[in-house]
């Protein structure tokens, strides 16, 4: 009667590679129905930090592996040990053909007991997925634990059956012969529920829900392991950079006509592997991060090689003729037109035909580029103008903002000139060092009791140009050093804090705080393919327990007419209480890795005051994370014009442009970022011969309207859409 359940296609692929004889026996057991592959994702990843597209690729690679190797399409997402779950997941799981979700981890809450065992989990777009929480993992088969599991079920709603996940130890949960024998014997005892050896599929089909199941409409927040949003910061940075690098490389490669799919597969599988729920959260031993760094070096090598080759091919095809003896082609991989800054190495005595500024050995210029396309600039003789923005040791100013800076490097006043608004209610850019006794997993609830400020900052004006101004701040504290370039721009409505830290603290947590002049009961946080509101007050125990929460590229605090967004390029831990916005920058736990986070770190956070709602926040946060790409090119004719857009969307953000898995079709994935219903359009710079809407595994689900090589479709709030096109 014995049945075995095993998740993670990555583990199967390792077995296939290193133990082929054992793998063939596994395949035989799967055919016999004694071994059940479960879970749709490539492995059991962290579910707070990966991007929306990373979740899609986890499912794309994972489900296809099981279908190709075993002829099985898994319908159960099996993530027992993961540290909380993004509210974007229900839609992503259902659009990948997953019907059921299982975890045990939310029962680990340190403050509140989760009210349900069997329920529908509803995500940000309204999609629901049937969910079951077993009591625990690797349970022994004994009378006490069986009775407690049954009692727990009765307290959270009547159900005829429960899943009891038995096994020995905490290293994989393999069962023992004794446990199997006890399971057979205990099924005959009248004081216990009847026991049956079964599969996960049989269990979920047996309890398949009804309309009476309760609904949980929120993220599945784990009231524990909050430190994993910050620990091992280098890995989190590499993950963010790798996700965007592969996105850019796929887009450029498809339209260049050179698409090395095997290399993309290798890079993506390494990204997915390093999103495992102890690697990416930072809760592994030190040896893991030696391996992980090696993997990321390979990812970046593959991605940069592919991107460089695509840029070379496109550069040769683009007509660069003009007034110069050389050209610079600026590529924009994002979904919207951008006016932003580009840095490129050019010798002194030349500039481009745009507003320029000299920055050391590099030329800085303002580029205006169409969405998902490029524009050619001419290199001409001459030197850029000097001066323009006001940058002093105590004051920075442009046409947008006026900032006063004190001796500690704090912004004591930030005035929004366009909107006649004081942005801060108290000094901002307040860097705070907290005494943090937690291990890699935990930020203790009372961590705020003991803290320090960094003290006086050494100041130096670094740039005072027409396009950008930089005031450098430097702190020495403890055994560490921080250097920060406080940066303002002529055309970019952000204040950037470009930061380097040589970090040698132990049991410390570094945060930055901005008390903003905004009253709002809810803050909005960017998550995978969408955003989520969370309360800023702490009325209930549920709200008090969420003293550290996840966010991706930005978090925002807005009233009905004005808001402030706190952005970053590689951080994930936020707390916003009342009007104080804080971002966690670095931790220094000593277990399980005594050297966690020691050494050098680079990151940027930014402040964006606005009156335009979240639309400007979404775009400027992407701009911070995905710089424009500049390529020097000789002067020549070409079949592509000097300015061009390959893909032009309206109403949606493009998450991926790639070649299809099984043929040379174009796959475009997009999402609605603001939480509103809209009629969206995506224009393709090619003849569309056929277009179908697909699920996340690229299987057609219906036709889409086409007019003038433009896809026209309705999109619901936060909805993800995938299209497959013959072009």
Q: In sequence order, which ranges of 546-690 are alpha helices (DSSP H)?
A: 614-625
* Cα–Cα dist 212/398, whole Å: 59
| Residue 304 and residue 245 in contact, taking contact as beta carbons nearer than 8 Å | yes
* Cα–Cα dist 322/354, whole Å: 14
| Residue 52 and residue 41 in contact, taking contact as beta carbons nearer than 8 Å | no
Q: Residue count of the chain, please give it.
A: 727
Q: Which residues pair with 601 in a beta bridge?
A: 501
Q: Which residues pair with 215 in a beta bridge?
A: 120
Give yes or no: 81 in active site. yes
**177 Cβ partners below 8 Å, 6+ apart?**
none
* Cα–Cα dist 541/719, whole Å: 32
* Cα–Cα dist 329/327, whole Å: 6
First CA to last CA distance, the chain: 53
| Residue 485 and residue 435 in contact, taking contact as beta carbons nearer than 8 Å | no
Which residue out of 21, 46, 81, 125 is catalytically annotated?
A: 81
**634 Cβ partners below 8 Å, 6+ apart?**
320, 326, 327
* Cα–Cα dist 227/593, whole Å: 14
User: What is the β-pairing status of strands 215-217 and 118-122?
Assistant: parallel
CA-derived radius of gyration, the chain: 27
Report the candidate in 121, 130, 134 with the shortest Cα–Cα distance to residue 215.
121
Residue 60 gets which letter from DSSP?
Answer: H
* Cα–Cα dist 655/671, whole Å: 7
CA 675 to chain centre: 18
Q: In sequence order, which ranges of 42-137 are alpha helices (DSSP H)?
A: 52-70, 89-94
HEC profile for 474-526? EEEECCEEEEEEEEEECCCCCEEEEEEEEECCCCEEEEEEEEECCCCCEEEEE
The continuous run of DSSP H or E covering 242 comes out as helix 233-256
Q: List the catalytic residues.
A: 81
């Amino acid at each position: 009667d014995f049945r075995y359940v095993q998740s993670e296609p990555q583990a199967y692929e390792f077995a296939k590679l290193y133990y082929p004889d054992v793998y063939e026996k596994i395949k035989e057991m799967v055919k016999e129905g004694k071994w059940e592959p479960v879970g749709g994702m490539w492995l059991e990843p962290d579910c707070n930090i990966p991007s929306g597209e990373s979740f899609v690729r986890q499912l794309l690679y994972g489900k296809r592996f099981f279908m190709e190797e075993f002829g099985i399409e898994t319908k159960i997402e099996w993530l027992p040990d993961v540290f909380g779950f993004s509210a974007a997941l229900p839609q992503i799981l259902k659009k990948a053909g997953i019907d059921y979700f299982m975890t045990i981890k939310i029962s680990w809450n340190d403050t509140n007991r989760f009210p349900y065992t069997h329920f529908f989990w509803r995500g940000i777009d309204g999609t629901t997925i049937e969910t079951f929480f077993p009591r625990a993992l690797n349970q022994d088969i004994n009378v006490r634990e069986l009775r407690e599991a049954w009692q727990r079920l009765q307290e959270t709603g009547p159900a005829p059956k429960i899943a009891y996940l038995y096994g020995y130890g905490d290293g994989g949960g393999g069962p023992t012969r004794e446990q199997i024998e006890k399971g057979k014997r205990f099924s005959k005892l009248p004081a216990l529920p009847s026991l049956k050896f079964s599969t996960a599929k049989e269990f979920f089909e047996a309890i398949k829900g009804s309309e009476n199941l309760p609904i949980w409409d929120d993220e599945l927040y784990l009231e524990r392991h909050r430190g994993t949003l910050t620990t091992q910061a280098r890995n989190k940075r590499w993950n963010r950079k790798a996700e965007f690098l592969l996105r850019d490389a796929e887009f450029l490669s498809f339209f260049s006509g050179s698409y090395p799919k095997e290399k993309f597969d290798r890079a993506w599988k390494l990204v997915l592997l390093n999103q495992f729920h102890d690697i990416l959260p930072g809760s592994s031993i030190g040896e893991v991060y030696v391996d992980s760094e090696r993997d990321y070096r390979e990812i970046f090598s593959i991605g940069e090689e592919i991107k460089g080759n695509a840029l070379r091919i496109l550069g040769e095809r683009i007509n660069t003729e003009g007034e110069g003896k050389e050209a610079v082609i600026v590529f924009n991989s994002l979904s919207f037109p951008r006016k932003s800054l580009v840095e490129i190495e050019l010798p002194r005595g030349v500039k481009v035909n745009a507003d320029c500024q000299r920055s050391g050995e590099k030329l800085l210029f303002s580029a205006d580029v169409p969405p998902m396309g490029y524009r050619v600039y001419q290199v001409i003789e001459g030197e850029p103008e000097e001066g323009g923005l006001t940058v002093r040791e105590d004051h920075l100013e442009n046409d947008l903002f006026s900032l006063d800076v004190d001796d500690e490097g704090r912004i004591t006043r930030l005035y929004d000139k366009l909107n006649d608004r004081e942005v801060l209610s108290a000094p901002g850019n307040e860097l705070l060092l907290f005494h943090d006794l937690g291990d890699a997993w935990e930020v203790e609830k009372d961590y705020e009791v003991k803290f320090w400020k960094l003290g006086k900052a050494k100041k130096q004006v670094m740039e005072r140009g027409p396009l950008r101004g930089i005031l450098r701040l430097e702190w020495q504290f403890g055994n560490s050093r921080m250097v920060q370039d406080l940066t303002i721009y002529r055309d970019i409505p952000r204040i950037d804090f470009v930061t380097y830290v040589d970090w040698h603290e132990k049991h410390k947590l570094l945060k930055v705080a901005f008390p903003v002049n905004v009253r709002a009961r809810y803050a909005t946080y960017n998550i995978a393919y969408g955003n989520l509101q969370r309360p800023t007050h702490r009325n209930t125990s549920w709200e008090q327990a969420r003293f550290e929460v996840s966010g991706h590229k930005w978090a925002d605090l807005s009233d009905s007419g004005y808001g402030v967004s706190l952005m970053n390029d590689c951080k994930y831990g936020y707390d916003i209480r009342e009007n104080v916005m804080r971002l966690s920058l670095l931790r220094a736990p000593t277990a399980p890795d005594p050297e966690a986070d020691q050494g050098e770190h680079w990151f940027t956070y930014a402040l964006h005051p606005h009156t335009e709602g979240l639309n400007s926040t979404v775009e400027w946060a992407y701009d911070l994370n995905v710089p424009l790409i500049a390529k020097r090119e000789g002067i020549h004719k070409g079949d592509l014009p000097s300015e061009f857009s390959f893909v032009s969307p309206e109403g949606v953000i493009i998450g991926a442009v790639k070649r299809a898995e099984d043929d040379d079709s174009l796959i475009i994935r997009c999402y609605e970022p603001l939480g509103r219903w809209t009629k969206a359009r995506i224009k393709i710079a090619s003849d569309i011969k056929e277009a179908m809407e697909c699920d996340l595994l690229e299987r057609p689900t219906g036709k889409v309207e086409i007019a003038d090589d433009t896809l026209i479709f309705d999109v619901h709030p936060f909805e993800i859409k995938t299209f497959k096109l013959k072009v």
